[in-house]
Amino acid sequence: MLKKFCLALLLSSSAGISVAMADQNGVSPDNTEVSAVTDQTMFEFGSYGTVGATHASLNSADFALDAPMPTGAGRSGYLSPSNNTLIAAHVNATFTPDLTAIFQVISEYNANGNYRPEVEWANVKYAFTPDLDIKVGRFALPTFMDSENHDVGYSFVWVHTPFELYQQMPTMSVDGVNAIYHFSMGEAENTVKLIAGQNTTETAAGIVNSKNMRGIFDNLDFGQATFHLGYQTRDTSTQSELAGLNGVWVAASDLTAGLSYDPGSWFFKSEWLQDRTQYKTNAMYASVGYRIDRFTPYLMHSQSSAASAYDNALPYLNMAQKSNSVGVRWDFMKNFDLKMQYLHITLGNNSTGYLVNIPDNVSLSGKTFHVISAVVDFVF
């Protein structure tokens, strides 16, 4: 339904088409005519993507970056392109200053082991006032500070978002309603997002269904600092023959907090999450980087705890791990970056971490290994 609607949008008018990123980059013709400051192009097209390769020092399992990926680097191959390679096409539509829509399709390695394109975002936004927007459709679940742009490598410094944290919440989007309220508090700008809806995500471990999703997320910008707080609840079920999960509905809640400070020449960023089902899991990361001309070297520490059981719940698949990474982003030309990263991972006791494609008879408890990645990100 969403797909049909958005295709209709695309085809319905040939008026005012431009490239989203090109506008920002000043490709518009040199005209000195006075034009109204509120004029907007109706359709803006854009694209982003990443091409890269990953090596993992493993031969008994695969390192995969996202929950849906069935294979990665390690057991399946010395080098894997699938972890970091994706391309997306995006259209922004502005029907009136108050009524806008976005549609985005992404092709990345998925649970079925192919690159079949999927609808990432498709929503219509109406601004009731300049400070109150309502979105309806498929939109990002803003659990983390970079949830909404986690696939847009060009938008952050690292090769990828810290997966010990981000994999705690494999559900990245919601089909539903999102209310966004913006207000100033003295020098600070505050944005509150309320969401309600449902989601189905295919992961390598099985199909994760979420219903009755409710969440409140707050973003406060104060000077060079940004604070993020979130709380969400949902009923979730995982259907997986492999993991012996039979799709029983479980109540889940997540509390998240984040802080970023970026005065320009350097940055600090840290986020934390506590996930509660019958089990409790904590995860966090902290990262610093320094900008030297077109180079941004960075360090990151990231970790997730073992899931501790409440009461007499059964033992659970343990995914505890810690990682330290060092990397660099090089903005080598307009709209492109090159990033390289060395990642050192230590699995917790009895943990398989976020590794996939593990044979039955292999124990990975306490194992350490490294992952080396090189990627090029681009936006148009």
Q: How far is the CB of 88 from another protein (least distance, A)?
A: 7
Residue 307 CB, shortest distance to another protein, in Å, is 30
Considering only residues 11, 223, 244, 360, which one is a binding residue for another protein as defined by CB under 8 A?
223
DSSP 166: H
- 304-309 long-range contacts (CB < 8 A, ≥24 apart) are 304/164, 304/165, 304/167, 304/168, 305/281, 305/348, 306/281, 306/348, 306/349, 306/350, 306/351, 307/279, 307/280, 307/281, 308/279, 308/280, 308/281, 309/278, 309/279
Q: Does the protein bind another protein through residue 144 (CB under 8 A)?
A: no
CB of 253 to another protein, least distance (A): 24
Distance CA 240, CA 204 (A): 9
Q: For another protein, which is the closer residue by CB, 165 or 345?
A: 165
| 292 vs 77: CA distance, rounded Å | 35
Indicate whether 48 belongs to the interface with another protein (CB under 8 A): yes
Stretch that binds another protein, among 183-191, 207-215, 245-253, 307-315 (CB under 8 A): 183-191
Total site size for another protein, rule CB under 8 A: 58
* Among the residue ranges 31-39, 67-75, 108-116, 308-316, the one whose residues contact another protein (CB under 8 A): 31-39
3-class secondary structure, 2: helix
What stretch of H or E contains 222?
A: strand 206-222
Q: Is 36 in the site for another protein (CB under 8 A)?
A: yes
Binders of another protein among residues 262 to 281 (CB under 8 A) are 263-264
Closest listed residue to residue 183, CA positions, set 145, 230, 132: 132
Of 169, 160, 161, nearest to 203 by C-alpha is 169
Q: Is 15 in the site for another protein (CB under 8 A)?
A: no
Q: Which residues pair with 292 in a beta bridge?
A: 295
For another protein, the closer of residues 59 and 155 by Cβ is 155
Place of tokens 């699995």: 347
Burial class (CB in 10 A: 0-12, 13-18, 19+), 278: middle
**102: contact with another protein by CB under 8 A:** yes
Measured distance CA(91)–CA(45) in Å, rounded: 5
CA-closest candidate to residue 243, choices 300, 319, 311: 319
**Per CB under 8 A, which of residues 149..168 are in contact with another protein?**
149, 152, 154-156
Q: Per rule CB under 8 A, is residue 39 in the interface with another protein?
A: yes
**Shortest Cβ 290–another protein spacing (Å):** 13
Looking at the Cβ atoms of 63 and 154, the one nearer to another protein is: 154
Mark residues 246-265: x for contact with another protein by CB under 8 A, - for none: -----------------xx-
Q: Which residue number, 156 or 279, has a Cβ lying nearer to another protein?
A: 156
Q: Are 19 and 380 in contact (CB under 8 A)?
A: yes
221 scored as a contact of another protein (CB under 8 A) = yes
Interatomic CA distance for residues 71 and 110, integer angstroms = 10
Residues within the interface to another protein (CB under 8 A): 20-21, 23-26, 28, 30-40, 44, 46, 48, 88, 90, 92, 100-102, 104, 121, 123, 125, 130-131, 139-140, 146, 148-149, 152, 154-156, 182, 184, 187, 189, 221, 223-224, 263-264, 291, 294, 331, 334-335, 337, 379
